Amino acid sequence: MAAVRTGKGGVTGSDTDIVIDGIRFAGRAFLAPMAGITDMPFRRIVQRFGAAATVSEMIASANLSTGQGDMVRKLQPAGDAPHVVQIAGNETRWMVRGVELALDTGAQIIDINMGCPSKKVTNGYAGSALMRVPDRALRLVEAVVEASSVPVTLKMRLGWDEESLNGAEIARRAVEAGVRMISVHARTRQQFYKGRARWHLVREIVEAVSVPVLVNGDIANMEDAELALDRSGAAGVMIGRAAQGRPWIVGRINRALGRAPAPISDGGRGSTIPSGDELLGLIGEHYDAILSHYGRDLGVRVARKHLRWYLEAMQVVLDGTQRRQLLTCGQPDRVMDMMARYLGRGVVAAPDHTCSGLEGLSELEPVA
């Protein structure tokens, strides 16, 4: 589809862009929210590669009274795309507080989480558990729409289980309450992440509402995206895990779905999959951004999973010693030297005994 070009070298939009209430997304491939992963440094890189939008990590609104500093860090905008902030909760007053905080940090869209399967979240009837109690879910949606001065969107699953595939019914009521876009992870809550996403079941939801629907689940490349769109009839796609270690993937799919090449101001970034020095530069930049976002001590821990994913994406397999050295090292320069070596760029004498700082930590220690 043709893009609409201005005379100034920028691309202002195309007929495949998703637009809600006058807010235009540059295309129709979105990065899914992933708690602990889609932080500001990651969202920024994904946006730079041309994603239509990214969604912040979920703000569990019941925690707002305690960890506000952390929340504000999570909510930081990441680039030029409309700033989408997700909130989760099961009590009206905390959801409304979440809206206020999101708006304070410049949210242009507020997304309600009705898809998270985590027991920690669902036990309190938040996330996907809300789909079991539609009336209650709708009261929360109404309260969020009422409290928000910006458009509200909803992320959900097909239903709680096979006996209650009520996604279409909830979507229809949510849109009546004012929700302006819906994204659907094409599994039930009881499936968690098992089996395959059933994109064709999203079609009933698409047909039940008049607003754009994004299909989500197991989309890892262009073929998946096209098939998911074809089977669901959705307006766009949302991509989560496939972007881990491959932050360019959402932008590549976005372009392939019809969005014009990245604006010139972007230097054409994202038009090819980075490799060699370019990939190393990207990883280094991501690593530095994580350290400055979280501070060095927490940052080196947060960065580990991303380093692992970059190596996996490049199909680099490390032996146990190499893995331990890389993932327990607390010296950023040494970490990048090791990445260079493992990715086949530059030479570092092996084994690497020069790294110290966090060696006492377990490699698998969970990240906060």
Nearest to 328 by CA among 290, 348, 287, 356: 356
Nearest to 28 by CA among 3, 52, 2: 52
**Active-site residue (options: 59, 75, 116, 168):** 116
**Site track 122-161 with ligand FMN (rule: CB under 6 A), x = hit:** ---------------------------------x------
Candidates 26, 219, 253, 313; binder of ligand FMN (CB under 6 A) is: 219
224 interacts with ligand FMN by CB under 6 A: no
Q: Which two tokens stand for residue 283?
A: 């990883």
Candidates 11, 16, 33, 96; binder of ligand FMN (CB under 6 A) is: 33
Residue 178 neighbours by CB distance under 10 Å: 15
Candidates 130, 239, 291, 326; binder of ligand FMN (CB under 6 A) is: 239
Residue number, 39 or 218, with CB nearest to ligand FMN = 218
Instruction: Please give the C-alpha separations between residue 305 and each of 46, 268, 363, in angstroms, as whole numbers.
Output: 16, 28, 10
Residue nearest to ligand FMN according to CB distances in the complex: 240
Nearest to 52 by CA among 25, 34, 16: 25
Residue number, 182 or 289, with CB nearest to ligand FMN = 182
Beta carbons of 329 and 360 less than 8 angstroms apart: no
Rounded CA-CA distance 121/73 in Å is 21
Candidates 17, 39, 142, 218; binder of ligand FMN (CB under 6 A) is: 218
Rounded CA-CA distance 192/171 in Å is 20
236 interacts with ligand FMN by CB under 6 A: no
DSSP, collapsed to helix, strand or coil, labels residue 3 as: strand
98 interacts with ligand FMN by CB under 6 A: no
Q: Among this protein's residues, is 116 annotated catalytic? A: yes
CB 109 to ligand FMN: min, Å: 14
Beta carbons of 46 and 243 less than 8 angstroms apart: yes
DSSP, collapsed to helix, strand or coil, labels residue 123 as: coil
CB 331 to ligand FMN: min, Å: 27
Stretch that binds ligand FMN, among 33-41, 132-140, 299-307, 354-362 (CB under 6 A): 33-41
Residues that bind ligand FMN in the complex, under the rule CB under 6 A: 32-35, 37, 57-58, 86, 113, 115-116, 155, 185, 216-219, 239-242
Catalytic residues: 116
